[in-house]
Amino acid sequence: MFFFDPTFYLLIPAMILAFYAQSKVKNTFAKFSEVRTASGLSGAEVAKSILSSEGIGDIPVHKVQGNLTDHYHPVKRELALSEPVFGSSSVAAMGVAAHEVGHALQHRDGYAPLRFRNVFAPVATLGSNAALPLFIIGFLIAGTWGWLMDLGILFFTAAVVFHLVTLPVEFNASRRAIAILQGGGYLQAHEIDGAKKVLDAAAWTYVAAATMAISQLVRLLILRSARN
């Protein structure tokens, strides 16, 4: 059966990596949330300051509920910071806030990977939601319905592409964030290392997601070949 076949073991390394990434980002964020910056600026104040200095001060900065729910919305053209980031003056908050501003700067600059991801997102969402149901139906019924496995694999490939394109988008936003925090004097030299550690930890979650997607795609290809 699909859920209890030997190929499931292919996912275990990715699962371990995902668990490690989630634990690492949670612990690193918590650690540097306790380290206050010398400037005393909150995440929201830093974000607004950078946006203004970059000529896009008209982008609103909102507070949203949750933990690490921070994001930049390219369609609404607004920046949302989670409660632990919005009003905090910690090294962690400043790093996360600057990272989200980095996405706004990517949008302004027409950064190609971000543009592709934004356009491709609806396709990837559809692919992610429909891929496994289609594949499982085709796998169980096979015969004349075997083509559903191929369609499921095609849809899931779209989700994998989305995860892969997300990597340079996130890495670039973090590089922009650190450069601005350092060059703009928002963080002192000894505080920069903490911000880097927070953003590096967050990057592992995207690496883990991409690894899981690739592992699942390989699994589907093996199952499809074995079903012939």
Q: Which residues are designated catalytic? A: 100
Q: Between vectors from CA 115 to CA 58 and to CA 29, what angle results, nearest 5°?
A: 70
Q: For the residues of 206-224, what is the DSSP string, one character each? A: HHHHHHHHHHHHHHHHHHH
184-193 long-range Cβ contacts below 8 angstroms, 24+ apart = 184/49, 184/50, 184/53, 186/37, 186/39, 186/41, 186/46, 186/49, 186/50, 186/94, 186/98, 187/37, 187/39, 187/91, 187/94, 188/37, 188/38, 191/35, 191/37, 191/38, 191/91, 191/94
